[in-house]
Amino acid sequence: MTVSTSRPVRTRFAPSPTGYLHLGGARTALFSWAFARHYGGTFVLRIEDTDLERSTPEAVQAILDGMRWLDLQADEGPFYQMQRMDRYREVIADMLAQGTAYHCYSTPAEVEAMREKARALGAKPRYDGTWRPEPGKTLPPVPTGIKPVVRFRSPQDGVTAWDDLVKGPISFDNGELDDLVIARPDGTPTYNFCVVVDDWDMRITHVIRGDDHVNNTPRQINILRALGAEPPCYGHVPMILGPDGEKLSKRHGAVSVMEYDKLGYLPEAMVNYLARLGWSHGNDELFSREQFVEWFDPHHLSRSAAQWDPKKLNWVNAHALRQLSPDDLAARVAPRIASRGGDTGFAALPAVMALLRDRSETLEDLAEGAMLFCGPYVPADAALRAEVLDEPALGLLRAFLDGAQGLADWTEAELDAQIKSILKEHNVKMPKLAIPLRVAVTGHKHTPAIGAVLNLLGRETVLTRLASTLAG
């Protein structure tokens, strides 16, 4: 199957603002965006906010924030369905006038009874077509006091089929499809109908969405055809499963995209990781946003469900961290240092980033590690002092302090040389000096390489802390 691009490509992401932007939604957005970018098309953002009970302005904001964070910029929109009500009403009126839709006065209880009856006969529960106009058919008298719904006059014969961009050919017997309610008694349009009018008006050519919408597609195609519109191509992506094979949910950890921002993941890594969840380009695991757009095509979207793998995400993120310059990392980590009460003005912060980068998986790891340099100095407590700073250790520290005071250059190489010469002079191994030095200068037993730590802390800080430890 080839991707039909006879019309200018236009894709859309159409989230319902009922919570946060979850990982599945973000991935759908990413695929739709990449599709538009790859084919030089237009990416539209549409907010499906007609479910008034569940839609909130905070959820709209969460979607916009998530998309901004992932840098998935819409070329058009956001369009809000609640602002398009007049248009939906207008199309419904046209359909009523043309006979592709009709008023149905059956009450909910009556419709339920029809369904029951069908069930009893072993058939699919459905509306029985009482109010459906047919040539030569006399409709029942219109009852008073009942506000009708509007139903779509769905084709009853034949099949509705499409060549799904992901799943291949799919078809539904039209006999299986009910005459869908497209407007409620109060005139408000229903979900499937708004989607159809929007996809039509917004000239959407390719719809990529979750496969929970497969059952909606034949209904939407039939309504589009009744409107004389060319249906878009559809691609339904399978859902994301948790590591245990169950549908991904809060049980598996964070499912909101912005939660990953908080946890210190890079948007670049998130895009890379999400792209590979259900799409592949040979064996490539690590790629840039530009490569993704260049390589993206819907033929390599997987038909089977993808599994969330936190370890792999960490690996991708660790790789993405290494692609950033120390200055860039410092800028991204600074707010996280500030929120820990650290000093973001620490001059050697980029050098600290370079030191910590290879041992960190997230920006949070980097911030945590940077607190050794930017955080307040908390001298070792009595227990740690007693454990590490015994007389021989204090003797070595004194020797180090004497030597360090006279160092012409305060560099990692000079400091390493100084340490080595003391080890040699006193005939001891590295930990005998390195651990007391760490405890004295940072208050911690474990730090990155001691020469690097001393260098980055700077001469004044190191000498002051050493002197006060020796005095204390």
Which residue ranges make up the site for ligand GLU (CB under 6 A)?
A: 14-16, 48, 195, 209, 213
Q: Rounded distance, CA 238 to CA 367, Å?
A: 36
Q: Which ranges in 10-163 belong to alpha helices (H)?
A: 23-38, 57-70, 85-98, 108-120
For the bound state, the minimum distance from the C-beta of residue 16 to ligand GLU, rounded and expressed in Å, comes to 4
Q: Which residue is nearest to ligand GLU (CB)?
A: 209
Token reading at 300:
């390599």
The residues, ordered by sequence, that sit 6+ positions from 162 with a Cβ below 8 Å of its Cβ are 169, 170, 171, 217, 221, 231, 233, 234
* CB nearer to ligand GLU: pick between 209 and 465: 209
**Length in residues, the chain:** 472
* CB nearer to ligand GLU: pick between 181 and 195: 195
Token reading at 83:
């602002």
* CB nearer to ligand GLU: pick between 16 and 461: 16
Token reading at 457:
């802390």
Q: Is 420 a catalytic residue?
A: no
For the bound state, the minimum distance from the C-beta of residue 55 to ligand GLU, rounded and expressed in Å, comes to 10
* CB nearer to ligand GLU: pick between 16 and 280: 16
Catalytic residue among 250, 312, 432, 445: 250
What is the CB neighbour count within 10 angstroms for residue 147?
A: 10
Half-sphere exposure of 450 (CA within 13 A, CB side): 24
Whether the CB-CB separation of 101 and 92 falls below 8 Å is answered with yes
* CB nearer to ligand GLU: pick between 235 and 264: 235
For the bound state, the minimum distance from the C-beta of residue 166 to ligand GLU, rounded and expressed in Å, comes to 14
Token reading at 318:
């660790």
For the bound state, the minimum distance from the C-beta of residue 219 to ligand GLU, rounded and expressed in Å, comes to 11
The residues, ordered by sequence, that sit 6+ positions from 88 with a Cβ below 8 Å of its Cβ are 183, 189, 193, 194, 197
Contacts 24+ apart (CB under 8 A), 309-317: 309/243, 310/243, 310/253, 312/273, 313/265, 313/269, 313/270, 313/273, 314/361, 314/362, 315/361, 316/269, 316/272, 316/273, 316/285, 316/286, 317/264, 317/265, 317/266, 317/269, 317/273, 317/361, 317/362
Burial 125-140 (b: 16+ CB within 10 A, else e): ebbbbebbeeeeeeee
For the bound state, the minimum distance from the C-beta of residue 139 to ligand GLU, rounded and expressed in Å, comes to 33
* CB nearer to ligand GLU: pick between 237 and 466: 237
378 by Cβ neighbours in 10 Å (0-12 / 13-18 / 19+) ranks as exposed
- Sign, Cα dihedral of 318, 322, 323, 326: positive
For the bound state, the minimum distance from the C-beta of residue 132 to ligand GLU, rounded and expressed in Å, comes to 26
* CB nearer to ligand GLU: pick between 213 and 459: 213
For the bound state, the minimum distance from the C-beta of residue 187 to ligand GLU, rounded and expressed in Å, comes to 21
Catalytic residues: 250
